[in-house]
Structure 1
Amino acid sequence: MSKRGWMLFLAMGLIWGVPYAMIRVAVEDFDPVVVAFGRTFLGALVLLPIALYTKAFAPVLRKWRWLLAYTVVEIVGPWLLISQAETSLNSSTVGLLIAAVPLVAVLLVTRLGHERLDTRRIVGLVVGLAGVAALVGLDIDTSNLGALAAIAVSVVGYALGPIMINRKLADLPPMGVVTASLILAALVYLPFAVWRRPEHYPADATWSVVGLGLLCTAIAFVIFFALIGEVGPSRATVITYINPAVALLIGVSLLDEPLTAGMAIGFPLVILGSILGTARARPEVKEPAAV
């Protein structure tokens, strides 16, 4: 990987590990739907001129049904549910649970018949699920089952999103898909955000929403597309293994969240399971026909 590729890779690993801490700060003063709306609105506001200038916006409208479905499972649902979950869960715990997305994706693509499970992937799934079980069993009490369900739905949505992109929207410009999705999500959130609008705007919560919209959404997607262009889509997804570590470090060091036994046991298991579970299945070797 080139020097530029490494810089983009490290930038993405850091940027997409930050949102969980920002969400945690924002939901202390703002309703979760306000946080989700602010993020999508600001992100769309920055990306729309770029999408229009590069003529990437108009082509996506011809597949508006699939675009709408992708928006619901990848943005509307997860961004609201994660914000809601962080009203009761630590940001580091949420970041580590979201790391199970590759495991769920493997199960989905296998179920759809696009790929097969080999021994290594099965071991990865077992190890990763054991890590999730450790996080849930040791860190989350029964009073937070609603938050846990919200994260579970978000994980499934995050796993479905890339599959939909790959199967139904791959021929569209990525910048146009992201921009249109952010606009649609903002429109869905808008009436609820107006209804639950805050009476006061504390500086820390306000700047957290601004950071989510500008840094973790608009700038993040621009860098991510540059990373894909530099190293390719498959290698770019390796940032999935760095984001949880960043979320854990920020939560523990800056937000004074506890480093629990569940994190110490679950974190390495989830990451190891994701690496094993997402490895490409080895092609079957056919025996030569007897002469």
Structure 2
Amino acid sequence: MTARGWFLFSLMGVVWGIPYLMIKVAVDAPLSPSMVVFTRCALGAVLLLPFALGQGGLTRTVRAHWRPMLAFACIEIIGPWFTLTDAERHLSSSTAGLLIAGVPIVGVLMARFFGDTERLGVRRVAGLTLGLGGVTVLTVPHLTGGDARSLAEVLLTVLGYATAPLIAARYLKDVPTLQLTAPCLALAALVYAPAAAVTWPSSVPSAHVLASLAGLGVICTAVAFVAFLELIKEVGPTRSTVITYVNPAVAVAAGALFLCEDLTVGIGVAFTLILAGSVLATAGAGVRRGERVAAVAVPVPVTEAGALGVAEPGETGGSVGAGQGCRGAEG
């Protein structure tokens, strides 16, 4: 992985590690999950739509790709963001963040179903296995503690995050990043607007709740989505999803520091396994030089040539992805 790839990987590890904290603050206010998702999407859309329109051809892009764009919006945003937010009404932010680390494992399985040929290697498979072990350690206590519904919601979130990038890689690889992200966020905002209006609070939320909503919309949505789509182009779809192994570190630290959430032995073991899996899963041989890896859609870095076999600069044209092979897998 190049220096640029590592920078973007680290950036997304942080940016998608803090949404769990912000979501928890919002739903404990308490704000409804619908309002939280609406606010997050509306802010992101307002910030990104002007840039998407400025590129020209947005209407033409939507007309040509509306079916896969609709599928991507539903599977990546409309469904998962609600289920994750609703789950955090009962789960701690650190637990939610750790469970989302299951995305790469599910992504590998889903990619095979989609016909992906990106090589994993023994070391990376071992890393994914360790990560799955960490998720298992974290999940079992909650299954016996009556949080089955919330865990099921997080599982649905994981499934969506793992599947949506595959759709983007196969059907949206020529769509410019902003022209995919902005319309999807706008659609999600429209979907949740009625429910948000009905559950709108009678009084103005506190400053820290408003700050959490702003952070979700601006940093964790607008900035992060664009960034991650670029990351996929930089390091390849499978490797890009491994940021979900780093996000838990930030989620656990943020939950303990700002919300005084307990750091149990189980969390410690799960955390260790997940991070060890992250190191192994990002190692190993990439595809051969000259082979191009399709970028998947979920948020960060740019293209690069080299051992990873990512398209040369200028070949992707700023789109979601280019080349052969599909796969991929948020916060």
Provide the TM-score with structure 1 as the length reference.
0.86
Contact 1:137/1:262, CA 8 A, preserved across alignment:
no
Contact 2:134/2:269, CA 8 A, preserved across alignment:
yes
Q: 1:123 to 1:11 in 2, by over 3 A?
A: closer
Structure 1 residue 66: Cα displacement: 0.9
Measured in 1, the distance between the counterparts of 2:267 and 2:57 equals 41
Q: 1:270 to 1:177 in 2, by over 3 A?
A: same
Q: Which amino acid aligns with 2:131?
A: G
Measured in 2, the distance between the counterparts of 1:224 and 1:121 equals 21
Alignment counterpart, residue 246 of structure 1, candidates 250, 258, 266: 250
2:111 paired residue number:
109
Tell me the SS of whatever aligns to 2:167: helix
Structure 1 residue 5: Cα displacement: 6.3
1:41 paired residue number:
42
Structure 1 residue 223: Cα displacement: 4.1
1:183 paired residue number:
186
Contact 2:95/2:138, CA 8 A, preserved across alignment:
yes
Alignment counterpart, residue 130 of structure 1, candidates 130, 133, 136: 133
Q: Which amino acid aligns with 2:88?
A: E
Asked if residue 273 in structure 1 is aligned to residue 269 in structure 2, the reply is: no
Measured in 2, the distance between the counterparts of 1:39 and 1:197 equals 14
Unaligned runs of 5+ in 2: 288-331
Q: 1:147 to 1:22 in 2, by over 3 A?
A: same
For 1:63-102, what aligned pairs fall within 5 Å after superposition? 63-102=65-104
Larger radius of gyration: 1
1:174 paired residue number:
177
Q: Which amino acid aligns with 1:143?
A: G
Contact 1:100/1:270, CA 8 A, preserved across alignment:
no
Mean alpha-carbon deviation: is it higher for 266-275 or for 198-207? 266-275
Mean alpha-carbon deviation: is it higher for 131-140 or for 156-165? 131-140
Sequence identity, in percent? 45
Contact 2:131/2:245, CA 8 A, preserved across alignment:
no
Measured in 2, the distance between the counterparts of 1:201 and 1:222 equals 30
Measured in 1, the distance between the counterparts of 2:232 and 2:159 equals 23
- Give the alignment's Cα RMSD to 1 decimal: 2.6
Superposed CA offset, 1:62-120 (max 9, x none): 11111111111100011111110100101011111101101100011123332377654
Superposed CA offset, 1:160-212 (max 9, x none): 01111101111111111011110111111111111221112222222211111
Contact 1:127/1:269, CA 8 A, preserved across alignment:
yes
1:257 paired residue number:
261
Looking at secondary structure, tell me which structure has more helix per residue: 1
Structure 1 residue 128: Cα displacement: 2.6
Unaligned runs of 5+ in 1: 284-291
Contact 2:93/2:251, CA 8 A, preserved across alignment:
yes
Q: Which amino acid aligns with 1:17?
A: G
Alignment counterpart, residue 161 of structure 2, candidates 154, 158, 163: 158
Mean alpha-carbon deviation: is it higher for 119-128 or for 169-178? 119-128
Tell me the SS of whatever aligns to 2:146: helix
Contact 2:40/2:217, CA 8 A, preserved across alignment:
yes
2:312 paired residue number:
none
Measured in 1, the distance between the counterparts of 2:122 and 2:8 equals 33
1:198 paired residue number:
201
Q: Which amino acid aligns with 2:27?
A: V
Q: Which amino acid aligns with 2:11?
A: A
1:27 paired residue number:
27
Measured in 1, the distance between the counterparts of 2:5 and 2:274 equals 26
2:211 paired residue number:
207
Q: 1:30 to 1:126 in 2, by over 3 A?
A: same
Q: 1:277 to 1:213 in 2, by over 3 A?
A: same
Measured in 2, the distance between the counterparts of 1:67 and 1:215 equals 22
Measured in 2, the distance between the counterparts of 1:223 and 1:30 equals 28
Measured in 2, the distance between the counterparts of 1:227 and 1:165 equals 14
Structure 1 residue 220: Cα displacement: 2.3
Mean alpha-carbon deviation: is it higher for 250-259 or for 122-131? 122-131
